[in-house]
Amino acid sequence: MRELRYNPVLGQWVMVSAVRKKRPWRPKNFCPFCPGAEETGYGWEVLLLPNKFAVLSFEAPKPETEGGFYKKARALGQCSVIVETPEHDLKDLDELSLEQMTKVVELWKGATKELKENPHVSYVAIFRNKGEEIGVSLTHPHGQLYALSFIPLKARIKLDNARRHYKRHGECLFCRILEEELKGERVIYENESFVLFMPFFANWPYEVHIYPKRHVQWLIQLNWEESRDLADIVRVATGTLNALFDRGMPYVMNTYQAPLKGSYPFYHLHIEFYPLLRDKDKIKYAAGIEMGTWEFTYDGIPEENAEKLREACRKIACRIGARGKCV
């Protein structure tokens, strides 16, 4: 059973699927993403695979009508796994070569381009969960892609605020944020095309964002050099987070593009990382105030934490052959 259920209080679709209960948890003797597995075969460098436990499908049946007040809809869409390397034992994206990470970025672009032509897809969410604390069920390096038939709530809020700012001030909100951050103490790293920084308004203790310097809405607008620079800065971001406490940092990474249908000149491609640790062995939990109101408390001073991230960035920049400079 797959279906979408509408929450009229928040204006939000909830994806409901019985099949997700069957997902395996860290199998010890078998990896479905390694070369030679049934799903993967041999001779590949990066793969886009169907998620066997998908909550969305282009073949999703029409749900039985609830009747009355509540709304349901078909769970139309696509859930895919992005297998980032054939090497099972790599811990994170900073351990990929620049060439391999560039292939991952090119896969993101290719998938976005293909789905942009699909009439059923309104939004593409490319994301990555890392670490047992996040609930990652398979340890082989991988990300995920959800092709949605609707624009998710958080993306709609960002779009609304960006549109409002554009109408009021005649400028891109994200370009203005980048301009402000480049003046301050929270920039961590930059190369020719992108900037890595902790935002003024960070929610998580070591939250970092990646903004392109050029005003683009979709990954498919990036040229070859910008793709390499994006690969470079993603490697630096993950390496920095992992060097911060000399241990693997659990995190969620989300890529925010404009919706696939329509024109959004006021919007700006960006990537956000939400690291889970506030200290080496202390998790920052989203608890009462955060879960109940979506209003975060920040434990510390962002500028001081940004300096710790810069120190971590300097540790790893030479090791991974960074193309830009730690600030």
- What's the rounded Cα separation, in Å, for the pair 198 and 306? 6
Report whether pLDDT(314) > 90: yes
- How many of the other CB atoms lie within 10 Å of CB of 54? 20
Domains along the chain? 2-326 (3.30.428.10)
142 included as an active-site residue: yes
Lowest-pLDDT choice from 58-62, 112-116, 216-220: 58-62
Q: What is the pLDDT of residues 10-36, one digit of tens each?
A: 999 999 988 766 666 667 788 999 999
* 145-150 average pLDDT score: 98
Q: What is the pLDDT of residues 236-271, one digit of tens each?
A: 999 999 999 999 999 999 999 999 999 999 999 999
Hey, which bits of the chain come out as E strands? 2-7, 12-17, 47-50, 72-73, 77-83, 123-130, 142-148, 187-190, 194-197, 208-212, 251-256, 270-275, 277-279, 282-283, 325-326
Of the candidates 120, 140, 142, 270, the residue annotated as catalytic is 142
Q: What is the pLDDT of residues 172-188, one digit of tens each?
A: 999 999 999 999 999 99
Q: Model-level pTM?
A: 0.96
- What's the rounded Cα separation, in Å, for the pair 120 and 286? 34
DSSP single-letter state for residue 299: -
Lowest-pLDDT choice from 36-40, 140-144, 161-165, 262-266: 36-40
